């Protein structure tokens, strides 16, 4: 067998082994679950293991995930959280009262809603700006002088791919921290830290876990000695937004198949997007893998594939869009994304009128099913509108 210890392993190989080897105590190829919350000391009150004091920070499975994610992101350090929103909140709380946050407009509604409430409560100025026009977005940064800039790449549900490198350069010139939520990409499609971001975060609930059975979030930094990373480490520890051992086990188990899942999901999504773009009952498709998408060129520069997430506008209104969703049989009607099963969501039902989401928009998260079966399901659901 070839010796690979002296060379950098590919992401696929790192993932397949969960970023680790065998358990040194037993030789097990799957890491054990330790459920203890506290750890004993000897008669002289020394810790039995210097790395294990209390499980809030001293849990081995989360540490293994963090080490793996830091390697995948080309980052310096990672922290895993109890949910994607817990990770988002920890990062954004790093801005002190009186500070300013510039956030990309048209991103995940949960993030936007939390940001608006938090900033109003904490006395932080919040500016929401369209990131599809890079020059205008950078001008907004120069006009407002933010402490932190938040991008979501690709964005949910519009699949806008902000151009990270020039935004990073502008942000750093203003001494602002650039954060990129890359949930819809994963480190296999895009590495924001390589493009200049200071922090990259993911809702690991989505594609990283990939099985719709775990809530988790992950943040990775470019500089482990930075003030913002020191704050995030302490915030995770002090607020207790940690991941339990069973959830960590499932997340690590999911990560081990991420490479295979993403390959299939992206190929399926490309096929589905092309079919929808040519369908007479569809008004528009938002998918960065399509040449006609407004962010296609930015996606080609930054991403290795178009991803697994897309949105489309059904010709007509809410009734037509909901009828299409209702006729689907293989694709499930549910709120989430990134799982092995394909899901459809009528986003306006979730967000309501205040967010500007069109009533005829359907968001699709494409899974690992056979592409022809997915296309057949969508074709059948759309057929009554094409007559």
Please say if the pLDDT value at position 134 is more than 80: yes
3-state secondary structure the chain: CCCCCCCCCCHHHHHHCCCCCCCCCCCCCCCCCCCCCECCECCCCCECCCCCCECCCCCHHHHHHHHHHHHHHCCCEEEEECCHHHHHHHHHCCCCCCCEEEEECCCCHHHHHHHHHHHHHHCCEEEEECCCCHHHHHHHHHHHCCCEEEEECCCCCCCCCCCHHHHHHHHHHCCCEEEEECCCCCCCCCCHHHHCCCEEEEECCCCCCCCCCCCCEEEEECCCCCHHHHHHHHHHHHHCCCCCHHHHHHHHHHHCCHHHHHHHHHHHHHHHHHHHHCCCCEEEEECCCCCCCCCHHHHHHHCCCCCCEEEEEECCCHHHHHHHHHHCCCCEECCCCCCCCCEEEEHHHHHCHHHCCCCCEEEEECCCCCHHHHHHHHHHHHHHHHC
Can you give the CATH number for the domain in which 322 is found? 3.90.1150.10
In this structure, the answer to whether residues 169 and 274 fall within a common structural domain is no
**Residues 276, 381 share a domain:** yes
Q: Which of 58, 60, 181, 198 is catalytic?
A: 181
CATH code, 216? 3.40.640.10
Question: For position 358, what pLDDT does the model report?
Answer: 95
From 108, 249, 287, 308, active-site residue: 108
In a domain, 200, yes or no: yes
At 128 the pLDDT is: 98
Residue 341 placed within a domain: yes
pLDDT reported for residue 7: 56
Tell whether 129 and 71 lie within a shared domain.
yes
The answer on 333 and 298 residing in a single domain is: yes
> Last residue of some domain: 255, 280, 295?
255
Last residue within a domain, chosen from 220, 237, 255? 255
Sheet with 309-314, edge to edge strand ranges: 282-286, 309-314, 361-365, 343-346, 332-333
d(CA 104, CA 141): 11
Inside any domain, residue 324: yes
Catalytic residue among 79, 206, 261, 347: 206
Specify the pLDDT at position 320: 98
Separation between Cα atoms, residue 55 and residue 280, nearest integer Å: 56
Q: Is 56 a catalytic residue?
A: yes
pLDDT higher at 110 or 351: 110
Has 230 been annotated as catalytic? no
Single residue among 220, 239, 255 that ends a domain in this structure: 255
**pLDDT for 12-57, tens place per residue?**
999 999 988 788 888 888 888 989 888 889 998 998 888 888 888 8
Mean pLDDT of 335-347: 97
Write down the pLDDT at residue 304.
Answer: 97
Nearest to 311 by CA among 340, 280, 343, 341: 343
C-alpha–C-alpha distance, residues 185 and 1, integer Å: 33
Any domain includes 136: yes
Range of the domain at 380: 258-386
Q: Which two tokens stand for residue 210?
A: 């990939």
Is residue 157 reached through a cis peptide bond, with omega within 30 degrees of 0 on the bond before it? yes
| 286 belongs to a structural domain | yes
Same domain, 65 and 77: yes
Task: Based on the fold, state whether residues 269 and 238 are members of the same structural domain.
Answer: no
Q: Tally the domains of the chain.
A: 2
- Give yes or no for a cis peptide into 183 (omega within 30° of 0): no
Domain co-membership, 75 together with 132:
yes
The answer on 153 and 294 residing in a single domain is: no
CB 181 within 8 A of CB 202: yes
Residues 265 and 198 placed together within one structural domain of the fold = no
Residue 332 falls in the annotated catalytic set: no
The answer as to whether 366 is a domain residue is yes
Q: Are residues 281 and 360 in the same domain?
A: yes
Distance in angstroms (rounded) separating the CA atoms of residues 258 and 16: 8
Main-chain phi, psi angles of 325, to 5 degrees:
-60, -40
Considering the domain architecture, whether residues 179 and 223 belong to the same structural domain is answered as yes
Whether residues 191 and 266 fall in one domain: no
Give pLDDT, residue 380: 98
Q: How high does pLDDT run on average in the chain?
A: 95
The predicted pLDDT at position 344 comes to 98
Residue 142: active-site member = no
40/46 Cα distance (integer angstroms): 9
Q: Is residue 25 part of a domain?
A: no
Q: Report if residue 20 sits inside a domain.
A: no
């Amino acid at each position: 067998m070839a010796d690979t210890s002296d060379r950098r392993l590919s992401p696929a190989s790192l993932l397949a082994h969960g970023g680790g080897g065998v358990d040194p105590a037993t030789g097990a190829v799957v890491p054990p679950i330790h459920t203890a919350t506290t750890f004993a000391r000897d008669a002289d009150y020394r810790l039995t293991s210097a790395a294990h004091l209390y499980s809030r920070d001293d849990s081995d499975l989360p540490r293994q995930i963090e080490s793996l994610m830091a390697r995948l992101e080309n980052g310096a350090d990672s922290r895993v959280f109890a949910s994607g929103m817990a990770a988002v909140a920890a990062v954004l709380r790093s801005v002190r009262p009186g500070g300013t946050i510039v956030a990309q407009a048209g991103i995940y509604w949960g993030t936007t809603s939390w940001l608006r409430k938090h900033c109003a409560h904490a006395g932080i100025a919040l500016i929401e700006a369209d990131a599809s026009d890079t020059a205008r977005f950078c001008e907004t940064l120069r006009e407002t002088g933010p402490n932190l800039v938040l991008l979501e790449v690709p964005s949910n549900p519009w699949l806008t791919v902000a151009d990270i490198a020039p935004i990073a350069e502008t942000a750093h010139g203003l001494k602002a921290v650039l954060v990129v939520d890359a949930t819809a990409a994963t480190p296999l499609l895009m590495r924001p830290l390589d493009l200049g971001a200071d922090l990259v975060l993911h809702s690991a609930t989505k594609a990283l876990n990939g099985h719709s059975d775990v809530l988790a979030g992950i943040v990775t930094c470019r500089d482990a000695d930075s003030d913002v990373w020191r704050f995030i480490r302490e915030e995770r520890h002090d607020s207790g937004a940690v991941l339990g051992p069973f959830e960590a086990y499932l997340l690590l188990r999911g990560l081990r198949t991420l490479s295979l899942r993403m390959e299939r999901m992206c190929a399926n999504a490309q096929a589905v997007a092309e079919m929808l773009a040519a369908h007479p009952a569809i008004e528009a498709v938002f998918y960065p893998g399509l040449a006609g998408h407004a962010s296609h060129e930015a996606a080609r520069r930054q991403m290795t594939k178009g991803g697994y997430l897309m949105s489309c506008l059904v010709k007509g209104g809410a009734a037509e869009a909901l009828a299409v969703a209702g006729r689907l049989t293989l694709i499930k009607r549910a709120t989430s994304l990134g799982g092995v099963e394909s899901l459809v969501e009528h986003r306006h039902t979730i967000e309501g009128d205040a967010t500007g989401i069109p009533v005829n928009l359907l968001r699709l998260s494409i899974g690992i099913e056979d592409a022809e079966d997915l296309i057949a399901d969508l074709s059948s659901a759309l057929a009554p509108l094409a007559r």
